[in-house]
Amino acid sequence: MSLKEALHWRSATKSYNGKIIEKDKIEQILEAVRMAPSSSGMQPFKVFVITNKELREKLQPIACQQQQIIQASHILVFAAWDEYTTERVDSFFEFSNQVRNLPSSATDDYRLNLLEMLNKKTKDEHFTNASLQTYIALGFGLLAAADLKIDATPLEGFDNKAVDELLNLSGQNLKSTVMMALGYKDEETDWWSKLDRVRRPNEELFVEIK
């Protein structure tokens, strides 16, 4: 299936049949999430991959009773850093230099400039930036799922504070941002997938500046 075909195939699934996704396919989707770009490459978030039934039963009431929470094979909860601390930034660059077999001083100029810029921003601004990175990763996950013909749904309708408490995210200096359901649609009840995709035409959406 081509990229264009995958994009036209996918839809935000409203009803799942409970079938479990094959392990190798879940691993491919998670690898796409892992390989998504992020600001300065820091990946300022964690992704909680939830299959536990009891936990999902607790999650559904604080997610507007969305049935995908229970029906899907997997639920991914994206949780961003609550702030870019010096420790977090330094730890990332130390790790990056080790992976690339570079001396610790190789990225000092960039790291110090980044810290100086971050120090001028508020904690809320830090979180806003980190949360945006989770949406990039979400997009990569959605595309990978479509390429594998795995149904997926981005989910935003939930009580962030309640989810943070349920998953003890504040204890990890994280805040929930968005979720993704993964599984196989119920062909009989997923009415949304039977509708035509509605997207604005190119001439209305894109502005070419030469």
Six-digit token string for 200: 């604005």
Task: Looking at 37-170, list the stretches that DSSP marks H as alpha helix, in order from N- to C-terminal side.
Answer: 53-59, 68-71, 86-99, 108-119, 123-147, 160-166
Q: What is the mean pLDDT of residues 161-167?
A: 98
- Read off the pLDDT of residues 45-58 as tens digits, 9 standing for 90 and up: 999 999 999 999 99
pLDDT at 112: 96
**Mean pLDDT of the region 63-74:** 97
The pLDDT of residue 192 is above 80: no
Contact 15, 127 (CB under 8 A): no
Domains of the chain: 3-83+125-188 (3.40.109.10)
Mean pLDDT (whole number) for 105-128: 96
Tell me the pLDDT band of 191, cut-offs 50, 70 and 90.
confident
Question: Angle formed by the axes of helices 123-147 and 23-34, to 10°?
Answer: 140
Percent of the chain with pLDDT over 90: 93
Q: d(Cα 207, Cα 155) in Å, to the nearest integer?
A: 29
The mean pLDDT value for 102-120 works out to 95
The 10s digit of each residue's pLDDT in 137-160 is: 999 999 999 999 999 999 999 999
154, 178 Cβ separation under 8 angstroms: yes
pLDDT band for 193, please (50, 70, 90 cuts).
confident
Cβ contacts of 118 within 8 Å, gap of 6 or more: 84, 89, 126
In whole angstroms, what is the distance from residue 206 CA to residue 34 CA? 29
